[in-house]
Amino acid sequence: MTALNPHPAKATVAPQTEKRRFNQLFGFRTRLYLTWVTLFGLCVMFFMSFDLKFSIILDKWPNLVGLHLGPNGFLQGAALTLFLCFCSIWLSLLLGFVTALARLSRSAVAFGIASFYASFFRGTPLLIQILLIYLGLPQLGVVPGAISAGIIALSLNYGAYLSEIFRAGIMAVAPGQREAAMALGLRPTATFLHVVLPQAMRTIIPPDNQSVHLDAEGLIPDFGHGGVGGHVPGSVLWAIFLSLHRNAHYRCRHLLAPFHWVGVDTAPS
């Protein structure tokens, strides 16, 4: 106790009490939600600065959602994107599973083809793969449509990534499980189907979120199919590709894909 501060204990307790009340009122979750709301508001202000014509968006909304068929009588907008993703997801799952089995096999040919496929499609950009399939296959006499090229490219790309997920899940099963199945007299096929695969699925399913990326990147070939809503003569992105294709220097851009693949594949992890 001093002449200037006759109650020192009360002076130190008061700030602590105010701090405790502040933490109770504005806890971690409250501050987190306020941060999210602030960032969301900034994003809305940023997009509002684009001077978007909402009347045009509302007018094209049925076409964007896919409620109406396109001029060619096929799906368009979000319905077309979901169709691309649905087909690509199942094809990539099948392709990834087969590739994983080939990489785990003792066949040198199957292992070589599977490892080359996984390395190439994991080491090159998806956009380059779409261009190689859509613009490169016609050079060999095969002319795929925009929808077919998109499904093939997405399936090949995500099949390569899924093959690593399948292979890692299968290899994560303890060798003792296979040895116990062999001791019980199970054949290799029955061991894989009834012992290894059910246990591997517990490891495979959690990281298998490639379909989320596939939903987003499925918009790339969708935009290339007559533009959004089917009333725009090609999207800006696809128009750039076609203008580059007419350029004499465009063929050099295809030559960069192998170098990108080698650089990514040989980079230390």
Domain boundaries, the chain: 80-225
The SS3 call for residue 106 is: coil
pTM of the predicted model as reported, rounded to 2 decimal places: 0.62
The helix, strand and coil proportions of the chain, stated in percent and rounded to the nearest 5, come to 75, 0, 25
Whether 260 shows a pLDDT value over 70: the answer reads: no
- Amino acid 87 reads C
Q: CB of 78 within 8 A of CB of 234?
A: no
Cβ-count burial 76-96 (b if 16+ within 10 Å, e if not): bbbbbbebbbebbbebbbebb
Average pLDDT of span 145-153 = 87
The architecture in CATH of the region 80-225 reads Orthogonal Bundle (1.10)
pLDDT band at 37 (very low <50, low <70, confident <90, very high): very high
What is the DSSP secondary structure assignment for residue 247, as one 8-state letter?
A: S
Q: What's the mean pLDDT in 167-174?
A: 89
Rounded to the nearest 10 degrees, how much is the dihedral formed by the CA atoms of 30, 35, 38, 40? -110
Residue type, 84: L
- pLDDT exceeds cutoff 80 at 235: no
Burial code (b: 16+ CB inside 10 Å, e: under 16) for 244-259 equals eeeeeeeeeeeeebee
Q: Which of 107-111, 194-198, 219-223 has the lowest mean pLDDT?
A: 219-223
Is the sign of the CA dihedral 145, 148, 150, 152 positive or negative? Answer: negative
Of 205, 106, 101, 118, give the one whose Cα is nearest residue 157: 118
pLDDT-derived band at 14, boundaries 50, 70, 90: low
pLDDT in tens, 65-118: 777 777 776 777 778 888 888 888 899 999 999 999 999 988 999 999 999 999
Cα separation of 7 and 70, whole Å? 81
| AA identity, residue 73 | G
Alpha-carbon dihedral of residues 57, 59, 62, 65, nearest 10 degrees?
Answer: 0
Taking residues 181-208, report their average pLDDT.
84
Q: What DSSP letter does each residue of 132-200 carry, written as one string?
A: IIIIIGGGGT----HHHHHHHHHHHHHHHHHHHHHHHHHHTS-HHHHHHHHHTT--HHHHIIIIIHHHH
